[in-house]
Amino acid sequence: MIENSKRIVFKFGTNILRNEDGEISLSHLYSFIEDISRLYKQDKEILIVTSGAVGLGAKKLKIDTSTSTTLKQAAASVGQPLLMSIWQDGFEKYGITTAQILLTEEDFANRKKYLSLRLTLSKLLENKVIPIINQNDAVSPSELEHACFSDNDKLSSIVASKLDADLLVMVSDVDGLYDKNPKEHKDAKLIKQVEKVTSKIEALATGASSGGRGGMITKLTAAKVVSSSGLYAKIVNGKIPNIIKKVFDNEIGTTFLPSNNLSHKKRWIAYATNIMGSIKVNEGAKSAIKDNQKSLLSIGITDVQGKFKKGEIISILDENNKEFARGISSYNSDDIEKIKGHHSDKISEILGYKFDDDVVIKDNLVLI
Ligand code: GLU
């Protein structure tokens, strides 16, 4: 149930953190901080993804950043410490320590960086620190274009799904997802609950919001990533007073239900970014895995690609080279090359040892 969520990621968009004149909205921010502190004291683990660096920096420098990526980067470098100091001062008043983490998409794609980030974040949470996360806008031009984290909705969904959160709350300036565009249709109705982000649901989102880089489309994409990773997601309107206190209320905002219940381990396998190799299997093995939830046996393997060690994540491909599953290999690629096409009984004879009857055991397999 959503109220049992222990690890919660809150994402705050630029528009909800500033007033119409571009100044930071301290009243909003402090009310978020006060209500988050309350959750924190109920023993929840909180991570915050915050936008606003570019906007604050542009205001300070009195520049218009709309046409230049480099100016946006310069503005972000000026605005980020200002933004951070507001969060930090606010939480300090409640005796809560914060940490600043600036990320690029590469930090998740590179396994060493990702593991190190996971460890750092779990140490911070263990030490009761609230990590305050933003994109590292200054280091890469692509951060502000479309190649990497195009927006903080995407960043927050990756943070939530890769760092084993239970719930992502996107605090925006809209009430949630509507069945029609509410700006054009007076009778548009708020959708309170989404069981699965299907293409029909995706078609309901239109346009980007002004100010930040996201809009309903990026929020829905984020909700899709998060819910298909087995987490709850929620879009709420930060202009509703004390919205943070109401995040578990199903009548408020749009709640996206987890659309699968993969364990943390299976989630890690399914969303791995560092696949070391692949195994191709015949139709019989594919149907045993896909239709009958069986392990992968050596007999059904027809080819091995890439170099990988025992314990690494591999793709499992069908006869048309289409990936249909991922798993943790019980053997390295050289061993699999030797035992492919042979019955499990022959493994000891061929290799001189046997770790397992299965090349990928079913607990280490996830269908894609
Ligand atoms: N990282 C940007 C900032 O702090 C925000 C990106 C977005 O609006 O999604 O200004």
Pick from 65-74, 201-210, 310-319: least confident: 201-210
Q: How far apart, in whole angstroms, are the C-alpha atoms of residue 203 and residue 255? A: 17
Residue 328 in this model has a pLDDT that exceeds 70: yes
What pTM value is reported for the model? Answer: 0.75
| Ligand 1 mutation target, pool 51, 65, 173, most atoms within 8 A of CB | 51
Contact in structure between 358 and 330 (CB atoms under 8 Å): yes
The 10s digit of each residue's pLDDT in 171-183 is 999 899 998 888 7
Q: How far apart, in whole angstroms, are the C-alpha atoms of residue 269 and residue 367? A: 10
The 10s digit of each residue's pLDDT in 50-86 is 999 999 999 999 999 888 888 999 999 999 999 999 9
Q: How far apart, in whole angstroms, are the C-alpha atoms of residue 228 and residue 77? A: 34
Domain boundary assignment for the chain: 2-267, 275-367
Distance 111 CA to ligand 1 centre (A): 25
Listed in sequence order, the residues at least 6 apart from 21 whose beta carbon sits closer than 8 Å to its beta carbon are none
- Lookup result for tokens 């997601």: 233
Residues with CB under 6 A from ligand 1: 14, 51-55, 76, 134-135, 137, 151-152, 212-214
**In this predicted structure, what is the pLDDT of residue 147?**
42
**In this predicted structure, what is the pLDDT of residue 210?**
45
Distance 49 CA to ligand 1 centre (A): 10
Q: What is the CATH T-level fold of the domain 2-267, as seen in this structure?
A: Carbamate kinase (3.40.1160)
How many residues does the structure list for the chain?
368
Q: What is the mean pLDDT of the chain?
A: 89
Q: How many CA atoms does the CB half-sphere of 104 hold within 13 Å? A: 16
Q: How far apart, in whole angstroms, are the C-alpha atoms of residue 347 and residue 48? A: 50
The 10s digit of each residue's pLDDT in 9-62 is 999 998 899 888 878 899 999 999 999 999 999 999 999 999 999 999 999 999
Distance 207 CA to ligand 1 centre (A): 17
Q: What are phi and psi of 155, to 5 degrees?
A: -55, -45
Does the domain at residues 275-367 carry the CATH identifier 2.30.130.10? yes
Residue 241 in this model has a pLDDT that exceeds 90: yes
